[in-house]
Chains A and B, each alone.
Chain A
């Protein structure tokens, strides 16, 4: 079945260092959504990428969608302690039905 692989599973960084999480699929992704879940919280939508090669930025966060639409990445520049949480990518394989299949997530910890 449809699978979305996400690496790394964990990432520990010093505050100020950069962080990247990668999302990959063996099949073409419909579109990619990225969510952040703080410890003890629920997932919160960050962004959606639809077009091949698309790049979007939100302050220190940069999101990319691969040319072949089989991979995506989230890069955080100069991490802060507020960036702590688990970052999930999700493929909207259900199209207009909105069904999402989530990657396993990357848990980011930031040491001050």
Chain B
């Protein structure tokens, strides 16, 4: 298993500003993921962040809006840039411990609740 922490746990930000969310894992992992979850809604994958390569973004998400860093195997950041109220959501990071064809479950961080005013 993996233990994941996120900072901040919540924040209230003004529109037009940016917020960087940190994700720390207690073990080295190759695959990390960033999701967005509106309250009471499902999870939507933003991007996959594998160490040593550029993040891969899902349809509807772009690097200019959600730049991601993955400097090592235990850490990643997601920045929500030029925020608007529509960006208010819960942002979660997750990791998968499997590699190659060995499909594995994902472990999620506690999430960052972002409110944009």
Which residues from chain A sit less than 8 Å from chain B, CB to CB? 1, 31, 33, 41-45, 48, 50, 88, 92, 94-105, 107
Contact = CB atoms under 8 A, between A and B. Distances in A.
B96 interface: yes
Contacts of B107: 45
Contacts of A43: 43, 92, 106, 108
Contact of A98 (B41, B42, B98): B98
Given A102-B42, A105-B42, A50 B109 contact: no
Given A45-B105, A45-B107, A88 B42 contact: yes
Contacts, number: 61
Interface residues of B, number: 27
B103 A98 contact: yes
B103 A31 contact: yes
A95 B31 CA distance: 12
6 contacts: A42-B108, A43-B108, A95-B101, A96-B99, A97-B31, A100-B106
